[in-house]
Amino acid sequence: MSPPDVTIVVPTLGRPSLGALLASLAESDGPLPRRILLVDDRRRRDQPLLSGGIPARLADRLQVLPGRAAGPAAARNAGWQAADTGWVAFLDDDVVVDRGWLRRLAGDLAAAAGDVAGVQGRLTVPKPTGRAPTDWERNVAGLERAVWATADLAYRLHVLGRLGGFDERFPRAYREDADLGLRVTGSGWRIVRGTRRVTHPVRPAGPWISVRLQAGNADDALMRAKHGPRWRQRAGVPAGRRPRHLAITAALLAGLAGLVTGQRPLAKLGLATWAAGTAELAWARIAPGPRNAAEVVTMLVTSAALPVAAAGHWLRGWLRVAALRGAGRPGAVLFDRDGTLVVDHPYNSDPARVQPMPGARAALDRLRAAGVPTAVVSNQSGVARGLLTMAQVQAVNQRVEDLLGPLGPWLVCAHGTGDGCACRKPAPGLIHRAAALLGVEPRQCVLIGDIGSDMEAARAAGARAVLVPTPVTRPEEIAAAPAVAPDLERAIDLVLEGRA
């Protein structure tokens, strides 16, 4: 039996649980995937990644890729960008697959309809026996209800390429999967539940784990900035207690201010409100738990620190968002294709003729490293004229990505000059659609192109623009451009420095 058209990607820090995952894959029924890619995301690699070795059944399929130690989003990007299969199945290194997982994975992918971009596995967290779960165990158990969790989620490779994969501005395993899910479903694709199952054991954690987890509030600020105030409802994420945390922290600050300034009524009111809020939080965490001495003490102590940590990280996240906006950094960079990313061969239908513009790969890699999403907006009137087909356009586009890496959504206008459409540049339609897919406003975008119609489209959409002239660019187009750069790398300098 030929292997299914899927690559398994596992970002890992080399935890002991990785060995258990690989052992479960080796013992699972069903055909092995084409490849299993372990992305070694450790900062130091002076010790073996796998102390117990590789299971014999996986030996000829498993490959280790070096990560950048930049977090799970970057590690997963490194994995899928190295894949050459139709599907990429992501697994966390602390899950264990069931005995039929490989067989069910193949069935899930084979059953996926054409509009399905992702198939999520079903996750089980073992419950403790003979006692109620602790606060940490209940936290991990929430993964069973998580939507789009990449603990076990397979995506079509070309969808990842079109959307640019995971946003590397999310530095921890927290919201990067929800962000991608929102972009996928916002692009018209579906993500469905499959039949395969994994188990996620509760790993040991220190007493301050709940406080450390509040760092995710900074990521929530980025989620709101990208996807708007209703992102939680769209992503199936519970509302949480942040409003209460902010109120408790404000009461504490008011009480301390009253003490410092000698305003005793303010001090009493603020500190009393803080104490009541802290007590309510502690009891909400203690009541469903085992209520033993260690758990009760941990909940009391951490409940005093937790709201302040949540509020501080929330503020830090918004300061980071404001700094990015204040620096003029764009929400997204949009590229024209012919004459900008690749040499312009008019009405090109042959992927073999694709030739990147000088410095294009280096310029794009800088944007990826900076976490700036990208898209391509391209007029292809040759389709309307009968000179090439959309299938040929897509084949050329795929070759562009093969050479330059993932570019995010491709927005193509196949109309002719006389069709009166709203998408053909210099009309703004392609820019509006690209911005919507990327979850940003058109005014947050920068369009980089080589002719005047690119600049006019940006102006009509309210976006910024940079002209990178070629020999076909007319002098009057250069004179009218809002910003001009001699090449793509200089154009990216203008973008990242906020001077576009």
Q: What is the CATH number of the domain that holds 393?
A: 3.40.50.1000
Residue 442 in any domain: the answer is yes
Which of 275, 301, 326 finishes a domain? Answer: 326
319 located within any domain: yes
Three-state secondary-structure class, residue 495: helix
DSSP character at residue 484: B
Q: Could you tell me if 368 and 387 are in contact, meaning their C-beta atoms sit under 8 angstroms apart?
A: no
Q: Tell me the C-alpha distance between 61 and 399, whole Å.
A: 26
365 catalytically annotated: no
Q: Does one domain contain both 401 and 422? A: yes
Cα 175 to Cα 131, 140, 216, distances in angstroms: 31, 15, 8
Domain end among 326, 345, 373: 326
Q: Provide DSSP, 327-388.
A: TT--SEEEE-SBTTTB---TT---GGG--BPTTHHHHHHHHHHTT--EEEEEE-TTTTTTSS
Question: Is 156 within 8 Å of 118 (Cβ atoms)?
Answer: yes
Would 216 be classed as within a structural domain? no
Q: Cα–Cα distance between 494 and 448 in angstroms, integer?
A: 11
322 and 343 both lie in a single domain: no
- pLDDT score, position 325: 59
Supply the CATH number for residue 142's domain.
3.90.550.10
Tally of domains within the chain: 3
User: What is the C-alpha to C-alpha distance for residues 444 and 435, in angstroms, rounded to an integer?
Assistant: 8
Residue 219 belongs to a domain: no
| Paired tokens of 181 | 């899910």
Which pLDDT score, from 0 to 100, does residue 366 have? 87
The question of whether 152 is a catalytic residue gets the answer no
- 432 with 476, same domain: the answer is yes
Q: Please tell me the predicted confidence (pLDDT) of residue 369.
A: 77
> Within 10 A of 219 (CB to CB), how many other CB atoms are there?
22
Domain boundary pick from 202, 225, 250: 202
Helix then strand then coil, % of the chain, to nearest 5: 45, 15, 40
Are both 356 and 489 inside the same structural domain?
A: yes
Angle between helices 429-438 and 452-461 (to 10 degrees): 60
Per-residue b or e along 201-215, where b marks 16 or more CB atoms closer than 10 Å to that residue's CB? ebeebeeeebbebbb
Question: What is the predicted pLDDT for the residue at 326?
Answer: 55
Return left, alpha or beta for 164; rule: phi > 0 is left, psi -120 to 50 is alpha, else beta. Answer: left
Q: What is the pLDDT of residue 158?
A: 87
Asked if 396 and 284 sit in the same domain, the reply is no
Given a contact cutoff of 8 angstroms between Cβ atoms, the answer to whether 77 and 166 are in contact is yes
Q: Which structural domain range is residue 129 located in?
A: 6-202
Instruction: Tell me which of 219, 336, 344, 454 is the catalytic residue.
Output: 336
235 within domain boundaries = no
Query: Are 255 and 391 members of one domain?
Result: no
What per-residue confidence (pLDDT) applies to 499?
Answer: 64
Residues 316 and 430 in one domain: no
- Contacts for 277 with CB less than 8 Å, ≥ 6 apart: 244, 247, 248, 251, 307
pLDDT score for 228: 84
Judge if 430 and 308 occupy the same domain: no
Q: How far is CA 218 from CA 136, 318, 369, 441, in A?
A: 20, 7, 20, 21
| One domain for residues 87 and 126 | yes
pLDDT value of residue 324: 61
* CA separation for the pair 375, 425 (Å, rounded): 15
Place of tokens 């951490």: 302
Q: Is residue 49 part of a domain?
A: yes
**What's the confidence (pLDDT) of residue 425?**
95
Give every residue of the chain whose pLDDT is below 50, as ranges. none
All residues at 6 or more sequence positions from 372 whose CB lies less than 8 Å from its CB, including other chains: 329, 330, 332, 333, 495, 496
Q: Are 135 and 163 in contact (CB under 8 A)?
A: no
Domain contains 193: yes
Instruction: Give bridge partners of residue 446 from the DSSP assignment.
Output: 333, 464
- Domain membership of residue 220 (yes or no) is no
Which candidate in 40, 92, 152, 338 is catalytic? Answer: 338
Q: Is 201 in a helix, a strand, or coil?
A: coil
d(CA 413, CA 383): 9
DSSP 126: P
Residue 372 has a pLDDT of 87
Same domain, yes or no, for 86 and 193?
Answer: yes
Give the pLDDT of residue 260: 96
What was the pLDDT predicted at 1?
A: 56
166 and 281, same structural domain? no
Length of the chain in terms of residues written: 500
The tens digit of pLDDT for each residue in 369-405 reads 777 889 999 999 999 999 999 889 999 999 999 999 9
Say whether both 246 and 338 belong to one domain.
no
* Nearest residue to 405 via CA among 12, 2, 15, 83: 83
User: Residue 79 forms beta bridges with which residues?
Assistant: none
Q: How far apart are CA 401 and CA 406, in angstroms?
A: 5
Per-residue pLDDT of 169-196, as tens digits, reads 888 999 999 999 998 998 789 999 999 9
